[in-house]
Amino acid sequence: MRPELLLTCALALSSTLPAAPERQLVACFATTRDAAANSAALLTLGITMVRRLSDGLPPAPAGSSPALDPDRVWLLEARDPIAAAAASAALSRDATVAWIEPNRRRERAGAPVFPDDPMFVDSRQWGLRNLGPAGVLGGIAGADVQALDAWRLGVGSHDVLLALADTGIDPTHPELSGLLPDGRPRLVALDLAGGGAAPSDSLGHGTAVAGIFGARTGDGAHRESLGVAGLCGGDGAGNAGCRLLSLKVVTGRASHATSFDLARAILHAARAGARAVNVSFAGDGPSRLERLAMRDALALGCVTVAAAGNRGAVDGARPQYPAAYAADGLGIQVGASDRFDQRAAFSSHGPGLDLLAPGVDIWTTRTTYPNALGLAGHGYGPASGTSFAAPFATGAVGLLAAARGALDAGDFQPLLRASAHDLGAPGPDSLTGWGRLDAAAALAAVAPSHGIAHGAVPITRLRPAGTDTLAIAEDGLRVPAARFEAVAVVAVPDSFAGPVRAWPRAVGTATTRATFRMPWLAPWAEAVATGPRTFELRGWLYRVDSGAWIPVLPESARIAFTLIGPVTRPPRSAEERLRALPNPFRAAVRLESSRAGVLEIFDVAGRRVHAAALAPGRAVTWDGRDGGGSATPPGVYFARLGGSADGSIVRIVRLP
């Protein structure tokens, strides 16, 4: 959705960008060089001279004998860190160069400050850190996503790809673009809607959304005195945070997308290996296409994070799609909160609302060029709407995925719900969902000392629960049916020390809701603790007069689940943990660890598809085939070493 309030920053800014020290070298030449001639020679190495050490220096005092000739010391700059390293190696072999070294970064000697992004420091980014009356925008102290506490636990990772389906992105914005330390581009931008337009952002909406979760954090000022922090934006040094995939879903300068293009973007993000795709578009009317795309994305390990919509002042309870599919566990629906920890008046609160996140006057990235609306490109500005609340949750998913790669896509919704800061009426409610996003609490819930286990269990008890007419509006189905409560029992493994939390996951579950009248048939179950070491998973099955069972026969019914809790074993070291490369993979994946054990690979339903012995310090290559030699379908799998429920579980994705 288009932002509803301010779109621009009323500041005149320079377009000059500060150079990162990682791109700069300091060279001392053996003799004083002619600037023009030497600059031409340096260009062949892909570097340019910035200045000499002598530029602007007063002359040396008469009679002094300096050890350093400032005329011979030059500051050089390359286009990226990779080019700088290559140029340094070449110049170190040049007889005319006395010595060469990197232009080293030096921090202030006072107490370390992180992040140092100016608009975070001056408190305008209240969604990350709300100082209340002490901040420039006021509000209630602590009414934010608890970013500082979250960053103490994790700042994101280059291994995590986050996508956005939006109006495009500014491909040159310094907060979003650039290269990763390994030389890969941090940002990939594609145009999925066609229309002959470039994937760049003509309206500014997508660039603003991306900055909230993806702006580089701790990298200081850009464009004079401005700069913002992103929730999953790294540490300001070697970790640039999540990678970004921008999928343009609007044609040309249009401000609307279609369900067809959004579904394509959701599937594209999942098949590219993204852990989350942000969809800040909403509208009336369900779409089977969107719903099925969100389900298939979950199966591939990618969760859709959707804006709740901005109809709060008109008809806030009206379902807005695709966000409403969060009610079926197929995504995460996010509404907007303000600086006072209240639901923003414009924020929709239809069925499936999971939580709120800051969405009023959110300072973020803007295009560095004028957009199609005629608004100047200043690079930064505030925006309001649930469009800008959703990416906070997307960033939280990125932090969780970086911290614990074994998390399934279906785990992010219950994790964010359970860790949210309760607002409004006690407990979950229709206006505020489970509360306001708390990224720090979510990360604490999956600390390294906690184990993560996934599985799927068959139904062990079936109990009649009345009869009625089963009606599914989407298919026009209306038949007499008997309803049955279907229960499966899960025993907590001994490796968990407790307490343990459990929840069902939509993908892998084949029971449905306890209602005869449904808009569509969606997987559903609930978890109920029945003892310190057991859980009951409960769903529903239907039998029509013809004898057919809906959705499946009782003997075929399964409920997929996740268990998370403290484990008795100490956390594995980085060397002992199971590692998978490449991940996602197509032809084959290499699994390695410094410890030995039996390597098992399971699908999302908990079925073992492959097993092999892993020797210490060696690797096993899995070509995507099961024990019988048949190719497994694309999707998410879990590799487990030695049957553990700790850091020796890794989530792997097989691409088509």
By annotation, the residues acting in catalysis are 166, 205, 387
Cβ-Cβ contacts under 8 Å for 602 (sequence gap 6 or more): 454, 608, 609, 637, 638, 640
**Which H or E run includes 336?**
strand 331-337
- How far is Cα 17 from Cα 39, in angstroms, rounded to an integer? 21
Joined tokens for residue 185: 């581009």
What is the arrangement of strands in the sheet containing 589-592, beginning at the earlier edge strand?
579-581, 589-592, 619-622
| Cα-Cα-Cα-Cα dihedral sign, residues 207, 213, 215, 221 | positive
Cβ-Cβ contacts under 8 Å for 626 (sequence gap 6 or more): 609, 610, 632
**Which H or E run includes 461?**
strand 461-472
- How far is Cα 322 from Cα 457, in angstroms, rounded to an integer? 30
Cβ-Cβ contacts under 8 Å for 550 (sequence gap 6 or more): 470, 481, 512, 521, 541, 542, 543, 544
Report CA-CA distances (Å) from 335 to 126, 212, 347: 17, 15, 6
- How far is Cα 53 from Cα 50, in angstroms, rounded to an integer? 10
Residue 65 φ then ψ, to 5°? -125, 75
Joined tokens for residue 183: 């030389």
Token pair 């020290």 is at which residue?
21
| Closest among 93, 95, 102 to 23, alpha carbons compared | 102
Residue 383 φ then ψ, to 5°? -150, 155
CB distance 150 to 439 below 8 Å: yes
Give the chain's length: 656
| Closest among 91, 124, 115 to 175, alpha carbons compared | 115
- How far is Cα 595 from Cα 647, in angstroms, rounded to an integer? 12
Burial class for 464, CB neighbours closer than 10 Å (0-12, 13-18, 19+): exposed
What is the arrangement of strands in the sheet containing 303-307, beginning at the earlier edge strand?
187-191, 243-248, 161-166, 276-279, 303-307, 331-337, 355-358
CB distance 28 to 103 below 8 Å: no
Cβ-Cβ contacts under 8 Å for 403 (sequence gap 6 or more): 153, 154, 443, 446
Buried b (16+ CB within 10 A) or exposed e, 229-254: bbbbbbbbeebbbbbbbbbbbbbeeb
Cβ-Cβ contacts under 8 Å for 547 (sequence gap 6 or more): none
- How far is Cα 305 from Cα 277, in angstroms, rounded to an integer? 6
The DSSP secondary-structure symbol of 492 reads P
- How far is Cα 381 from Cα 363, in angstroms, rounded to an integer? 5
- For the chain, give the longest Cα–Cα distance: 109
Residue 119 φ then ψ, to 5°? -80, -15
Q: Which amino acid is at 554?
A: P
CB distance 564 to 406 below 8 Å: no
